[in-house]
Structures are given as C-alpha cells and as structure tokens.
C-alpha cells in the first residue's frame, strides 16, 4: 500500500513536518533506544511495519483495541455507518444506542456525554465537578495522568500535599494553584489533606488502577478512604477510567472495587479505535451541564456516528459471555510465562497485572506509588524493548507505560513472546551488564 520505503525514511520525513516526528510524545521512542517503527497495517494481535516486518503488538494503540486491531465486526459497523454519512453535527440514533449500551453496563450512572478524547472527558468532568459543588480546589495524585488539560499537568514532590506547580511549559502558574497533589498509597497524608482542605474541595480525581507511571495497584482501603473522605466533605469522587473502563471488567474498575464514584471518565475502548471520550454521572450532576445547566461543554465531532458505531460494536462484543474470563486466562498465562522467563536469570524484575493490563517492572516488587518507582531501572526496560523489537515483539516504547492483552492475542502469541523474553534475558546473562 503506497510507497512503503523504510522506517528510517518515514522517520526522517516525519521529523521535518511533525514536532518530534509524532502526534503524541510517547510514540517518539524518547525513553527507549532506537527510532519508532512505522505501522503500515495491523490485524488482530499483530501489525506490519513499513518494511514488511510483523510484530506481536502488546501496546495495542495504548488500550482501545481490546478486541485486537481491525476487528471484522467493528470494521463492518464503521463502514456501514460511513455509508450513511460521516458527521452530522446533529443528533443521530447511534449516539443514543451507544449511550444506552454504556449505561446498561454502568448501573451507577444515569447519563453520559460523549466527547472526542479522554483529555476532553476529564477536562469536562472537572469543570462539571467545580460547577456542581461551587468549589475550585481539585486533588490529584503523583503518577496519575489525566490527559493534557492545563490544570491537570501538575507534578509535585512526595510526602505532604503540595499545591501544583505546572509540569509543562506554557501553563501559567495560576492555572494550577487550585490543583493539589498527594502521593498515592498514603492514607495519613490523605486524611491530613482533608482535615485542612476538605471543605474547599470540588473533586478528588484518581485512576482506580493507576496505569500511567507503571501499573501502581492500590490497596482497596486507600481507595475506600478516598470515597469516605470525599463523601464526608461534600466533594465529588472522580474515577478516571479512560484506561480501565470496559478493560478490567465488563463495567471497569468501580463495580470491581465495590466503590461508586460520583463521576466517571472514559475513552479508548468506547471508541473502538475511533476518537471517543465520555463522562458520566447521576442525572442530578449531569443536569448542571449545558444546555441544561450553567457548565458549558461542546464539541463539533462529539457523538460522531462512525465512532459511535465502532464503539457500539466493541461494547457489544465485549459483552458476550466469557469475554473477560478469556482475557483473564490470557493475562494470567502471560504473567506466568514472563515470571518463568525471569526466574534463575539473576535479573531483578516483577510483573504487576490487573486482568489484561500488565507492567514489566525491573524492581523486586511492583511499587504502589510513583515515588517508589525506581526510574534508574527504566534503562533495563529500554534494553528489553529494543531486543524484543529485534525479535518481533512490540511493547509500549516506555517503561512508564503498561501493556495490554487483547481478545485477539492467542496462546501462541503468548508463548512466542515468553520465548523471546527468555532468549533476550539469556543473551544478557552472558554479558557484564547483569541486572
Ligand atoms: P486521551 O486524551 O489521550 O484520549 O486520554 C487522556 C488520558 C486520560 N486519562 C487516562 C487515565 C489516560 O491514560 C489517558 C491517556 N493515556 C495515554 C497512555 N498512557 C495515551 C497515550 C498518548 O498520550 O499518546
């Protein structure tokens, strides 16, 4: 298809016309050796690059492709919708159908609004929480990523709550003055924060399974404390489920944890590979969003009919009996294989996993907070990433990101991946950089 050329040729051209050669920074291979491979096409668990080389893909477009790439039913649904037009800027039945399918899976919510990205979903949910409570302050956690809205691009030291200082250029200090940041997995710090600031807090936002600084699985009691303290102080609890929604279970993390958030944000899977984000809450809270209420939010391509069709086909297929059980079986098989491949190699490593989300971490025990992630070990991840690319296995090009098992991954894919990892580690044990 097209003049394929080589990865390096496309990379050279890309850097001339796209900042950093990419349309999203994490694709740039900045934190792993080598340069990006250019995807030419993808199908199921695999993709082919511009040089015709095939890879087993465990990044899966960062989460949307839970069915695998180019799922035939999703493709057909999108094509069918396309034949009826691609964008109306007016209500269409598919928006209602996806909203109904979404809410059927989320009994704790009564209404949903579709937007075009996870960032937009989170930005809108925070604005809604502030409008609903009449308060400005929001609380996030170090290591949690909620998209690139200015007030959420905030970082902070660990330990005590600090008021956010922008962790991105171009964000005025004032934009983050109302964003507080705490470390994950620290109940004392959380309680101290609420004692001092609880009655000023509009919302606490958290990824229920933080998956943007590795997979930092939280203790249930920490998440329960977030729910208890937000309720006590009249603040809203926002679960950012852009990754976990429809990923870690039929309805995502909330029902799995037995915690009902006030607002949820979604993306990735609900678009089936097309740009879709969403936020959901009770009718009471959603009643504050325009055109019903004073909180404004809009979008030209929100509820795009083709994207709705792809999302609907994806939700329908993931709703079939045994879908998540099969994902769990494959996730467990991959985890067991990776652990076996590491055993007796002298390499210090662990695997964090929640269903079909997994993280290879070169530490003795997968940490629960950003502060406990040993960044110096990411170079080992980078070495593994490079060696696996050479062996036709593609992981996320950053040790801070997680891997995704899809329904399209086969036992053979898992066995081939485990064999490639074992071969890689064995090749290491013969050289001085034992890790
Ligand atoms: P998008 O705007 O990228 O659709 O969603 C932002 C977002 C919000 N919340 C969570 C929990 C997220 O993980 C994300 C986006 N995730 C990253 C990968 N870790 C997207 C990949 C990228 O930035 O290119």
pLDDT (mean) for 328-355:
97
**pLDDT single digits (tens) 129-174:** 999 999 999 999 999 999 999 999 887 544 455 666 778 889 888 8
Is residue 95 in some structural domain?
A: yes
Residue bearing the bigger pLDDT, 3 or 226: 226
Are 277 and 398 contained in the same domain?
no
Rounded Cα distance between 201 and 153, Å, is 18
pLDDT (mean) for 38-43:
98
Q: Is 119 in the pocket of ligand 1 (CB under 6 A)?
A: yes
Ligand 1 mutation pick, 31, 63, 118, 266, max ligand atoms within 8 A of CB? 118
Are 157 and 246 contained in the same domain?
yes
Are 166 and 255 contained in the same domain?
yes
What is the reported pLDDT for 220?
97
Ligand 1 mutation pick, 242, 358, 370, max ligand atoms within 8 A of CB? 242
């909203």: which residue's tokens? 99
Are 304 and 339 contained in the same domain?
no
Q: Is 241 in the pocket of ligand 1 (CB under 6 A)?
A: no
Are 57 and 170 contained in the same domain?
no
- 47: domain CATH number? 3.90.1150.10
**Is residue 5 scored above 70 in pLDDT?**
no
Annotated catalytic residue 296? no
Quick one: which atom of ligand 1 is closest to the CA of 147? 6
- Please provide the average confidence, as pLDDT, over all residues in the chain: 94
In percent, the amount of the chain with pLDDT more than 70 equals 95
In 3D space, the residue among 212, 209, 203, 199 whose CA is nearest the CA of residue 261 turns out to be: 203
Query: Last residue of some domain: 260, 285, 318?
Result: 318
**Is residue 433 scored above 70 in pLDDT?**
no
**Is residue 76 scored above 70 in pLDDT?**
yes
Question: Global pTM?
Answer: 0.96
SS3 44: strand
- 216: domain CATH number? 3.40.640.10
Q: Are strands 277-281 and 350-354 parallel, antiparallel or unpaired?
A: unpaired
Count the domains in the chain.
Answer: 2
Q: Is 140 in the pocket of ligand 1 (CB under 6 A)?
A: no
Range of the domain at 369: 7-62+322-432
Contact of 275 with 87, CB cutoff 8 Å: no
Quick one: which atom of ligand 1 is closest to the CA of 265? 9
Q: Which residues pair with 115 in a beta bridge?
A: 277
Annotated catalytic residue 324? no
């Amino acid at each position: 298809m097209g003049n394929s050329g080589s990865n390096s040729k496309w990379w050279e051209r890309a850097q001339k016309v796209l900042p950093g050669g990419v349309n999203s920074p994490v694709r740039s291979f900045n934190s792993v050796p080598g340069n990006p491979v250019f995807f030419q096409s993808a199908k199921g668990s695999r993709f082919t690059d511009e040089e015709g080389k095939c890879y087993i893909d465990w990044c899966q477009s960062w989460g949307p492709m839970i069915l695998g790439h180019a799922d035939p039913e999703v493709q057909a649904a999108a094509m069918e919708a396309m034949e009826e037009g691609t964008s109306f800027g007016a209500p269409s039945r598919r928006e209602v159908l996806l909203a109904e399918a979404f809410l059927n899976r989320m009994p704790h919510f009564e209404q949903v609004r579709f937007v075009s990205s996870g960032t937009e979903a989170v930005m809108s949910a925070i604005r809604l929480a502030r409008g609903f409570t009449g308060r400005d302050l929001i609380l996030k956690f170090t290591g949690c990523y909620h998209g690139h809205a200015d007030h959420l691009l905030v970082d902070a030291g660990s330990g005590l709550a600090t008021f956010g200082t922008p962790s991105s250029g171009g964000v005025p200090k004032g934009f983050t003055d109302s964003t507080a940041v705490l470390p994950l997995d620290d109940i004392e710090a959380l309680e101290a924060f609420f004692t001092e600031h609880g009655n000023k807090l509009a919302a606490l936002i958290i990824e229920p399974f933080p998956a943007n600084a590795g997979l930092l699985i939280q203790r249930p009691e920490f998440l329960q404390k977030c729910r208890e303290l937000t309720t006590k102080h009249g603040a809203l609890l926002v679960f950012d489920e852009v990754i976990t929604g429809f990923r870690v279970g039929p309805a995502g993390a909330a029902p799995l944890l037995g915690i009902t958030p006030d607002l949820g944000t979604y993306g990735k899977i609900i678009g089936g590979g097309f740009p879709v984000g969403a936020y959901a809450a009770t009718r009471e809270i959603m009643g504050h969003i325009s055109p019903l209420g004073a909180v404004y939010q809009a979008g030209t391509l929100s509820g795009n009919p083709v994207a709705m069709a792809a999302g609907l086909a994806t939700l329908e297929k993931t709703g079939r009996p045994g879908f998540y059980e099969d994902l769990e079986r494959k996730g467990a098989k991959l985890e067991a294989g990776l652990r076996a491949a590491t055993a007796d190699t002298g390499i210090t490593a662990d695997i964090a996993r929640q269903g079909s989300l997994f993280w290879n971490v070169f530490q003795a025990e997968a940490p629960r907070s950003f502060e406990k992630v040993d960044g110096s070990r990411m170079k080992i991840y980078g070495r593994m990433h490079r060696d696996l690319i050479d062996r036709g296995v593609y992981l996320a090009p950053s040790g801070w990101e997680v891997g995704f098992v899809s329904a399209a991954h086969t036992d053979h894919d898992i066995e081939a991946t485990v064999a490639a990892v074992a071969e890689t580690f064995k090749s290491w044990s013969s050289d001085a950089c034992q890790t």
